[in-house]
Amino acid sequence: MSAPDEGPGAREQEPTRLRVLIADDSFLIREGLSRLLELSDAVEVVGTCADEPSTVAAVAAAPPDVLLCDIRMPPSFTDEGVRLADGLRRSHPGVGVMLLSQERHVDLAARLLESGAAGRGYLLKDRVHDLDLLVSAVRSVARGECHIDAALVEDLVRRRRTEASALDGLTPRQRQLLADIAEGRSNAAIARARFLSVRAVEKHVSEIFGRLGLTGDADISRRVRATLLYLDANRR
């Protein structure tokens, strides 16, 4: 999926050669990507990194046009790529980020897009052997567009439909509280506005997340996803 973006992340003119930084804990992946991209006149590999801290330092020292980054790296092997993409949105908005993964992590892909799709991408590693596809994906992200692997788009659409239909299973009270969540209110603020105890609100919110299938994620991520579902449903 590749979609144009007119926001501040979009670039007016693409440079002659895109400066790409590669971040992956696997030496073979780093070297393989470097050598593959060296075959293209459109890309210049400016460095490689093996973990999150060194990647942050490298971007700060010389921001690339695009960061090609493993979705999971040291130190925790959980969501380093998503955290980097989110942090760079604030510190270096001109840097595009293309996440790479062996697997289709739908939750992490959804989190990647929560703070904005401009200049962000997600590509499965079994696609990166195709130089033309890889360079095309990098160039689209550098232009401020969004490039998501087609296989993952299907998963995201399927999950979105499942979650959206789950709104029909909420009680009127739960819909009220979901509206409060969508307005950015904390549990304490909701409790004051609805004349409930904080404990009661916490129980209701937990049940809402459960009915929407938003389990196992950080609380802040679940609130964001619940808000997006609410807003999407009320736009129809």
Q: What is the pTM of this model?
A: 0.64
Question: Which long-range CB contacts under 8 A does 125-130 form with residues at least 24 apart?
Answer: 125/29, 125/100, 125/101, 126/102, 128/32, 128/33, 128/36, 128/100, 129/36
Contact (CB, 8 A) for 144 and 117: no
For residue 7, pLDDT over 50 is answered with no
What's the pLDDT tens digit per position in 90-139? 999 999 999 999 888 877 888 888 778 899 999 999 888 899 999 999 99
Range of lowest pLDDT (4-18, 20-34, 218-232) = 4-18
Which residues, including other chains, have CB under 8 Å from residue 9's CB and lie 6 or more apart?
A: 93, 94, 96, 116, 118, 119, 144
